[in-house]
């Protein structure tokens, strides 16, 4: 059997399939490395999202391969052999499954060297996410084989690929905003990461496994069977698969936005003052900690200074943010496309600005100009245009910042620091930062 399988791999479209999927997958992966440079889960999930292209291509590869007997005019000859058809299709099923899974895993392997030295956190869930993707590829190739056998035309393969793409892209519309149903039926849905802590739920993965196994079974039965009765009977695994998958998957609004609490958990660096980074970003500790400590040292000249820096592990969908703690400054951590800390020169100003900014619980009261002016004074530098969070604040100099800063610098140091301290108190109380900084309130 192994020998036959080896021959089938060499003589079928398997090698070409691996090549095409590998090239397509590698181009997609490296077209946007910032999407998956943050860690292993990011890589696994992005690869799953790229099933939107790889799965239709697997369908097309299967359909193309299935035309072989028709193309070479041997269907009748093979039908006359004294072997059941089911036995004859096993090698080709095996070859196409091996090809599509190999290609899927190889694409991940291509992404591996890019992040291997920065990504630390490797949860077991990553392997589940990859396994579901590989299963989807097998199902796609086998379904393609079945359709290609039933409709042995040259245009079956491209038409099937277009239909597969249409299925994946239109499913969220067709299910009328029921994310759990879309997630159960589409192996690529909900794989775009909003935060680096995002993961895929075990129950959702289980539902996808059930549905994808059902699809694979349909492919095998359609390919192996000769009678219309057994072909019609493939409706059974379809219905059963949908029913089981739907019963397993949680009917949760956030089913596609699960947070990995372990990845989100803070890990504190050795030494003082305390600097804690989420586990998923723990590989960036050496890049963040010295700068965060430098910022804390700068802030130490204020009365009642902050004593620790924590990563801001807020997620917006679902909305969750860490409980505010006295003396703790929150810092946004972003990963660049090389897997390293994005905008490393901004860590110090970011921490100082965050120390001058009201907490998330304040409904309003945030005042960029006042916070930045105070931060610039404490740091003893000119405010830079790119100090804005996320890089979305405009680079144009803010005239208010300059006015506040000049006023602060004209004051004696004691008085100026007292005003910055007043601003920090106002920030803690959700008060008026501007009034505190200009000395109108004490």
Query: Which of 109, 150, 162, 239 contacts other proteins by CB under 8 A?
Result: 162
Q: How far is the CB of 53 from other proteins (least distance, A)?
A: 5
Q: Distance (Å, rounded) from C-alpha 99 to C-alpha 107?
A: 12
Q: Pick out residues in 106-125 that bind other proteins (CB under 8 A).
A: none
* Cβ-contact 151, 67 below 8 angstroms: no
Q: Pick out residues in 297-326 that bind other proteins (CB under 8 A).
A: none
CA distances from 162 to 17, 55, 92, 167 (A): 17, 11, 23, 9
| Residue (55 or 121) nearer to other proteins, CB | 55
Residue 56 binding other proteins, by CB under 8 A: yes
Residue 238 binding other proteins, by CB under 8 A: no
| Residue (59 or 207) nearer to other proteins, CB | 59
Q: How far is the CB of 13 from other proteins (least distance, A)?
A: 10
Query: Which of 79, 109, 154, 202 contacts other proteins by CB under 8 A?
Result: 154
Q: How far is the CB of 175 from other proteins (least distance, A)?
A: 14
Nearest partner of 332 among 343, 317, 320, 323, judged by Cα: 343
Nearest partner of 389 among 437, 353, 428, 431, judged by Cα: 353
Query: Which of 9, 18, 20, 141 contacts other proteins by CB under 8 A?
Result: 20
Query: Which of 103, 161, 255, 330 contacts other proteins by CB under 8 A?
Result: 161
The footprint of other proteins on this chain (CB under 8 A) covers a number of residues equal to: 25
Candidates 95-103, 141-149, 151-159, 315-323: pick the segment binding other proteins (CB under 8 A): 151-159
Candidates 55-63, 95-103, 243-251, 412-420: pick the segment binding other proteins (CB under 8 A): 55-63
DSSP-assigned states of every residue in 117-143: TT-----THHHHHHHHHHHHHHHHHHH
| Residue (28 or 134) nearer to other proteins, CB | 28
Residue 10 binding other proteins, by CB under 8 A: no
Peptide bond into 273 cis (omega under 30): yes
Q: How far is the CB of 228 from other proteins (least distance, A)?
A: 23
* Cβ-contact 245, 23 below 8 angstroms: no
Q: Distance (Å, rounded) from C-alpha 128 to C-alpha 132?
A: 6
Q: How far is the CB of 72 from other proteins (least distance, A)?
A: 5
Q: Distance (Å, rounded) from C-alpha 201 to C-alpha 259?
A: 9
Query: Which of 57, 185, 221, 416 contacts other proteins by CB under 8 A?
Result: 57
Residue 52 binding other proteins, by CB under 8 A: yes
Number of alpha helices (DSSP H) and beta strands (DSSP E) in the chain: 20, 8
Q: How many CB atoms lie within 10 A of CB 399?
A: 9
Query: Which of 28, 216, 292, 330 contacts other proteins by CB under 8 A?
Result: 28
| Residue (76 or 323) nearer to other proteins, CB | 76
Sequence length of the chain is 442
Q: How many CB atoms lie within 10 A of CB 159?
A: 16
Candidates 38-46, 141-149, 165-173, 372-380: pick the segment binding other proteins (CB under 8 A): 165-173
Candidates 20-28, 96-104, 307-315, 342-350: pick the segment binding other proteins (CB under 8 A): 20-28
Query: Which of 157, 216, 221, 375 contacts other proteins by CB under 8 A?
Result: 157
Q: How far is the CB of 70 from other proteins (least distance, A)?
A: 9
| Residue 167: strand pairing partners | none
| Residue (141 or 161) nearer to other proteins, CB | 161
What 3-state DSSP class applies to 199? Answer: strand
Contacts 24+ apart (CB under 8 A), 377-381: 377/405, 377/408, 377/409, 377/416, 377/420, 378/298, 378/299, 378/301, 378/302, 378/352, 378/420, 379/298, 379/348, 379/349, 379/352, 381/349
Q: Distance (Å, rounded) from C-alpha 396 to C-alpha 368?
A: 13
User: Token digits for 261?
Assistant: 């609490």
Q: How far is the CB of 23 from other proteins (least distance, A)?
A: 8
DSSP H stretches of helix in 341-440: 347-355, 368-379, 399-410, 413-428, 433-437
| Residue (4 or 169) nearer to other proteins, CB | 169
| Residue (94 or 144) nearer to other proteins, CB | 144
Query: Which of 4, 7, 11, 71 contacts other proteins by CB under 8 A?
Result: 71
Q: How far is the CB of 256 from other proteins (least distance, A)?
A: 18
Q: How far is the CB of 94 from other proteins (least distance, A)?
A: 23
Q: Distance (Å, rounded) from C-alpha 229 to C-alpha 201?
A: 38
Residue 166 binding other proteins, by CB under 8 A: yes
The continuous run of DSSP H or E covering 252 comes out as: none
Chain residues binding other proteins by CB under 8 A are: 20, 24, 27-28, 31, 52-53, 56-57, 60, 64, 71-73, 153-155, 157-159, 161-162, 165-166, 169
């Amino acid at each position: 059997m192994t020998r036959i399988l080896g021959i089938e791999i060499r003589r079928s479209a398997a090698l070409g399939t691996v090549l095409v999927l590998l090239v397509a997958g590698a181009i997609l992966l490296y077209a946007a490395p910032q999407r998956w440079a943050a860690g292993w889960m990011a890589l696994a999930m992005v690869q799953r999202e790229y099933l939107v292209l790889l799965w239709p291509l697997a369908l097309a590869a299967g359909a193309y391969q299935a035309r072989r007997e028709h193309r070479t005019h041997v269907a009748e000859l093979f039908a006359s052999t004294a072997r059941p058809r089911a036995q004859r299709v096993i090698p080709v099923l095996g070859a196409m499954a091996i090809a599509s899974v190999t290609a899927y895993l190889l694409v991940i392997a291509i992404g591996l060297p890019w992040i291997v030295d920065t990504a630390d956190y490797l949860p077991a869930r990553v392997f589940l996410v990859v396994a579901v993707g590989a299963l989807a590829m097998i199902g796609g190739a086998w379904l393609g084989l079945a359709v290609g056998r039933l409709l042995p035309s040259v245009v079956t393969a491209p038409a099937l690929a277009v239909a597969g793409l249409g299925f994946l892209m239109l499913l969220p519309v067709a299910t009328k905003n029921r994310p759990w149903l879309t997630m159960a039926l589409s192996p690529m849905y909900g794989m775009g990461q909003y935060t680096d802590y995002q993961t895929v739920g075990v129950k959702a993965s289980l539902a996808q496994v059930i549905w994808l196994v059902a699809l694979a079974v349909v492919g095998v039965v359609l390919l192996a069977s000769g009678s219309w009765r057994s072909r019609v009977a493939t409706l059974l695994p379809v219905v059963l698969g949908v029913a089981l998958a739907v019963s397993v998957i949680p009917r949760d609004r956030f089913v596609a936005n699960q947070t990995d609490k372990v990845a989100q958990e803070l890990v504190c660096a050795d030494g003082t003052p305390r600097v804690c980074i989420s586990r998923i970003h723990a590989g960036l500790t050496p890049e963040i900690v010295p700068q965060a400590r430098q910022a804390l040292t700068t802030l130490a000249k204020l009365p009642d200074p902050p004593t620790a820096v924590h990563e801001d592990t807020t997620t917006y969908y679902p909305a969750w943010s860490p409980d505010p703690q006295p003396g703790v400054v929150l810092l946004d951590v972003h990963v660049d496309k090389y897997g390293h800390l994005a905008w490393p020169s901004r860590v110090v100003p970011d921490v100082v600005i965050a120390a001058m900014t009201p907490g998330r619980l304040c409904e309003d009261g945030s005042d960029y100009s006042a916070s930045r002016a105070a931060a610039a004074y404490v740091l003893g530098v000119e405010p830079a245009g790119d100090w804005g969070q996320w890089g979305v604040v405009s680079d144009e100099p803010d005239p208010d910042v300059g006015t506040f800063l000049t006023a602060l610098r004209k004051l004696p140091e004691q008085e100026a620091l007292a005003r910055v301290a007043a601003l920090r108190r106002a920030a803690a109380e959700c008060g008026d930062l501007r009034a505190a900084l200009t000395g109108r309130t004490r």
